[in-house]
Chains A and B, each alone.
Chain A
Amino acid sequence: MSAKESDYIIKRNKNNYEVVIGLEVHAQVLSNSKLFSTSATKFGAEPNTQVSLVDAAFPGMLPVINELCIKQAVKTGIGLKAKINKRSIFDRKNYFYADLPQGYQISQYKDPIVGEGSVVLDLPTGEKTIGIERLHLEQDAGKSIHDIDPQNTLVDLNRSGVALMEIVSKPDLRSPEEVNAYIKKLRSIMRYLGTCDGNMQEGSLRADVNVSVRKKGEKEFGTRCEIKNVNSIKFMQMAIEYEANRQVDVIEEGGSIDQETRLFDTKKNETRSMRSKEDAHDYRYFPDPDLLPLEIKDDFINDIKKSIPELPDEKKKRFIEKFDLSAYDANILVSDIETSKYFEEVIKNSDVKLSTNWITGELFALLNDKNLEISKSPISAKNLSKLINLIKDGTISGKIAKSVFEIMVTDDKNPVDIVKEKNLKQQSDPKELEKLIDKVVNENPDKVKEYKSGKEKLFGFFVGQAMKASGGKANPQLINDILKNKLK
C-alpha cells in the first residue's frame, strides 16, 4: 500500500499514535442537466429557478437517467484506473427531510457503477498509492436555509437532483498532508477529464472524513468517527487534527471511541457529536423500481476510453523524459490541467528551462498575489513566451525582463513593443560600454586605488555605477568582463 511510512504521529505519554483516514468525496458531475431530469445545474441561480416537476417530486413524476452523467462516471472510473461495472443498480435511500422532496435519495448501494481503483500521490517522501473502494452516482439534495426568515426554514431545490459522484477511498491515508495531496490529485484528475470542475467554494467537491487512531504498529483499525460534509481542504486538515487528537486523549484517559457521526465547527475549530451509532438512520435501501438496472456495453466503455486525455501521471512522466524537468517542477506543472496547457503553449517557441523558471517563479507569484487561476492570467502564454525569447537572445537582461513583466501585467502588451517603446534594449556594444566604464573609473580614482590594494568587494560598486550610468540596460555579463579588464 504505502511506499513510505508517514511521519505524522501523535505522541502522548510515550505512546505513538498513527492516524487512519478514509474519505468519501462528493464530486458534482460536470453536466448541464441533472441526474434524472432535464433541469439546469448552473451555480448561483435564483432559488428554485432550476427545478422540474421530477426534482420537486410531484405525484406521478418518474426519474429518467441522464446518459451524460453515466459517461462522466465511467470516464472518472477510467481515470481512477478502476473497474467499470457493466451492471449497476440505483437504490432508494429513504429518509425524511425538508430539502429531500422525494423522501428518498436515489443512490447506488450494493452495485455501484465503478469498483476498485487507485490514485497515486506525489508526496515529499515519494509516491504513495491510495486505494479507491468504489465510485457511485447519486442525487444531491436541495438546500435548507435557516437564517433568512426568523420563523420558517426556506428550501431551495436548485441542487435537488444534481448528479454527484461519491468516490470512496480505502482507509489508506495517514496524515492531513496526505489528505491534502489526495484531494488535490483527485481534483486534478477530474479536471483533466472534464468530469468535475472541482470548485470547492461552489460546493462541487465536498467530503465526509472518516478518522480513527491506533497505536503505531497495531494491525487492527481503531473505531472510526465520520466527520460530515467538510467543504475545504483546510477545514478537512483542521478537522482531522482536532479529531485525531481528541480520540488519542480519550484513549489515553482509559476511554474508548464511540462510533458516531460528527460535525466540524469551523469557527471553534472542533468536531462535535451529531448522532451516535444507535441513532443512525435506517435508510431502508432497496432497488428503485422506477429504474431498471443500468447495463452498459463494452463499446460504450471503449468509446469513452478513446476520449481519455493524457492524465497528470502520464504527463508528468513525459515532461520529465522529454524536457528533462525535475520531478518537483514536473509535478507543479501538471497538477492543474490549465497550468500544463499554459506551460506547453509557452515552450512551443521558448526555452524550457527559462520557461519553467518564469512560470513557477514570477507568474505563480503574480497569480498568487492577485488570487487568480492561471486560466485568468493577465499575461498570456504567447506574450510570456516572447518575453522569455527576449531574454534568451540577449535583447534584454533578466532584470529588465522583470520590469517588462510588471508592465505586461496591466494590459498583456507584447513585450517586444514594450522594449521598443521604452527603449529598454540591452546595451551590448562593447565600445559603448567601454566608454561608460572609463567614465566610471575616471570619476572614482580613490575607489580604484582601494580595489587594487585588495578590497575586492568594491567590484560590485563599479558594476552598480556602470549599470546606473546605462540606465540599467547594459549587458551585465559584458560589464563584468570589461570592468575586470580595466581594473587589472
Chain B
Amino acid sequence: MMWSEAAPSRSLMTPMAVEQTDAQLVARCRAGETAAWNELVERFSRYVYAICVRGFRLERQDAEDVFQDVFSRAYERLADLRSDEALRPWLAQLTRRLCVDRLRSLARNAPTAAEPDESVADETLAALDEALAVRAALEALDEPCREILDRFFCRDESYATIGEALALPAGTVASRISRCLAKLKVELEGRHGPSEPSGRVR
C-alpha cells in the first residue's frame, strides 16, 4: 500500500465529525490514506488493548508486544480481508490468536504457568463487543458529553480532576455526567432498541 500525509496529533477525544462505517474506513486505508489508518488504529486501539489485558490478562510488556503485532499484521494483511464489514471480528480473532500464542510461549518457558483459559476470554470478548457498541454510541454524542463521560468512566478521573480540567465545580461535573449518561442511553436505544437483558457484563 502507498501512504500519504503526516500523522495528525492526537487529542483526548478524537472528534468524529462524520461517523464512517468500518467498511468505509478499510476502503480509505486501501486507497493509501494515512489519516484513515490513524483513524482505524484510534477506533480499535481500546478494543485490542482490552482483549489483551482484560480478556487474557497479559502483563504490560506482553500486552504491548501483542498490541503492536496485531496492528502490524492488520496493516500487512488489510488487503486480504474478505469482507470490509468484518474488520472488528477479524481484529478480535487476530488479537485472540496472538494472545493465546503469547501465553503458550510463556507457559513453555515457565512450566508452572497455567494454559490460557479461552472460555473465560470468550465471555470477556462478548462483553467487549457490547462495550465497543457503547463506545460507538458515545462517539455520536456532542463533544462535551463525550469528553466528560470518557474522563469519568474510561479514564477513571475524579470529579475534582475533571472539574479542574474543564473549569467546572464538582457539583456541575456530577450533574453533567448524569445528564450525559442519560443522553447516551437514549442514543443506544435509538440504535439498538430497549429491553432483552443479556446479563453478559460481569
Q: Do A and B bind each other?
A: no
Q: Which residues of A contact B (CB under 8 A)?
A: none
